[in-house]
């Protein structure tokens, strides 16, 4: 398969949540008409502030929610339709998720072997085979065989996240959805986990949807990045392009807010604010996703599109 095959295609995905009944009924558009695709063996980063819908997008793809509308295709097969036995089986064989909180996401009453090997056991694999594979996977993520019989509370945060990674990887999924996998960890441990994910990605040819808010980490780890704001995807680009030529005013505001470990630039830095009412005039033209240049998409109106093109070329 060529490198550029689209393995995951998300089209017009909407995920709404409702609360209350009758007159008090409210709808929250957590993800509103989001489209993007992820290529085979690439890392696609999703960034945005809390509440922008990045986690919901990931969870809707792996079907922890039932999407309100839109289609999601994985390797050509639609996975956003009604949940059937065969779809559920297909999802669990092909996708896995790594969660943010390594404490909450591991069952405190199960041993590491039970946690990591659960999906294999559910497929009817023999006890010896599960054990063999669990130990091999633990070694791959930097743990040892003796850890297999222990319980989650006996581990440090970084080790727990390694367990979470082992659990996600053991069924040999083709797509990993990593939801803030390092934000709960200390700086020195973050680097260990990022390196581990990078090694596994190379070794197993994984495709990763990487959801995070730390932009330096996302930039380092991702090939392409999608920026979300209030349920909308506002910009998609190669990560270098996004950082060197951000076009959408929200992307600019977000980039200007990342603190950089350099006192020489930090003190002089000037931050950009994003105010949707001030920055856009959508009274006459509706904004849409436009390709400003190949591979660089921005959510904008025709007038803005012309201006962005000029900026890029000028």
User: Which of 135/193 has CB closer to another protein?
Assistant: 193
Task: Tell the smallest beta-carbon distance from residue 267 to another protein (Å).
Answer: 7
Q: 3-class SS at 195? A: helix
Distance CA 256, CA 22 (A): 43
What gap in Å lies between CA 308 and CA 247, rounded to an integer? 6
Q: What is the dihedral of CA 217, 289, 15, 216, to 10 degrees?
A: 10
Report the residue number, 27 or 156, with the smaller CB distance to another protein.
156
* Residue number with CB closer to another protein (11 or 223): 223
Q: Provide, rounded to whole angstroms, the least separation between the CB of residue 73 and another protein.
A: 32
| Least distance between another protein and beta carbon 19 (Å) | 16
| CB of 4 or CB of 265, closer to another protein | 265
Sheet harboring 69-74: ordered strands across?
26-39, 6-19, 69-74, 77-78
**Which CB, 125 or 258, lies closer to another protein?**
258
- Beta-bridge partners for 73: 9, 78
Measured from the CB atom, is 125 or 194 closer to another protein? 194
C-alpha 161/C-alpha 100 separation (Å) is 8
Minimum CB distance to another protein, residue 273 (Å) = 8
What does the alpha-carbon distance between residue 198 and residue 125 come to, in Å, rounded to a whole number? 29
Residue-wise burial string across 97-128, b where 16 or more C-beta atoms lie within 10 A, e elsewhere: bbbbebeebbeeeebbbbbbbbbbeeeeeeee
Closest approach, Cβ 287 to another protein, in A, equals 21
Residues lying near another protein in the complex (CB under 8 A) are found at 49-50, 156, 158-159, 186-192, 194-195, 198, 213, 215-217, 219-220, 243, 253-254, 256-269, 271, 274
Query: What are the tokens at 83?
Result: 């949940």
In the complex, the smallest distance separating the C-beta of residue 263 from another protein, rounded to whole angstroms, is 4
Which distant-in-sequence residues (6+ apart) come within 8 Å of 204 by Cβ? 169, 172
Query: Closer to another protein at the Cβ: 8 or 185?
Result: 185
* Pick 51 or 87: Cβ nearer another protein: 51
Cβ 272 to another protein shortest distance, Å: 10
Q: Which residues of 18-52 are buried (b: 16+ CB within 10 A; e: fewer)?
A: eeeeeeeeeeeebbbbbbbbbbbbbbbbbbbeeeb
Beta bridge partners of 299: 289
Give least dist CB 254 to another protein, A: 6
User: Do the Cβ atoms of 311 and 249 come closer than 8 Å?
Assistant: no
């Amino acid at each position: 398969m060529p490198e550029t095959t689209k393995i995951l295609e998300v089209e017009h995905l909407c995920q709404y949540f409702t609360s209350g009944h009758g007159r008090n009924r409210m709808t929250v558009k957590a993800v509103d008409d989001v489209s993007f695709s992820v290529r085979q063996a690439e890392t696609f980063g999703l960034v945005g502030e809390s509440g922008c819908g990045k986690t919901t997008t990931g969870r809707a793809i792996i079907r922890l929610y039932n999407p309100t509308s839109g289609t999601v295709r994985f390797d050509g097969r639609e996975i956003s339709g009604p949940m059937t036995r065969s779809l559920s089986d297909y999802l669990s064989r092909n996708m896995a998720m790594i969660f943010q909180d390594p404490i909450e996401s591991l069952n405190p009453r199960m041993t590491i072997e039970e946690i990591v090997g659960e999906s294999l056991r559910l497929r009817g694999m023999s006890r010896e085979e599960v054990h063999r594979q669990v130990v091999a996977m633990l070694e791959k993520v930097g743990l040892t065989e003796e850890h297999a019989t222990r319980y989650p509370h006996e581990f440090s945060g970084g080790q727990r996240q390694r367990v979470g990674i082992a659990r996600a990887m053991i069924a040999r999924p083709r797509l990993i959805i990593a939801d803030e996998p390092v934000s709960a960890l200390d700086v020195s441990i973050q680097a260990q986990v990022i390196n581990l994910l990078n090694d596994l990605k190379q070794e197993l040819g994984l495709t990763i949807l990487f959801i995070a808010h730390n932009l330096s980490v996302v930039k380092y780890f991702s090939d392409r990045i999608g920026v979300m704001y209030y349920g909308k995807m506002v910009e998609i680009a190669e990560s270098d392009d996004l950082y060197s030529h951000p076009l959408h005013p929200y992307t600019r505001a977000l980039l200007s807010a990342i603190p950089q470990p350099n006192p020489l630039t930090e003190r002089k830095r000037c931050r950009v604010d994003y105010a949707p009412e001030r920055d856009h005039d959508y009274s006459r033209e509706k904004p849409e996703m436009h390709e400003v240049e190949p591979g660089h998409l921005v959510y904008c109106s025709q007038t803005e599109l012309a201006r962005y093109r000029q900026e890029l070329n000028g």
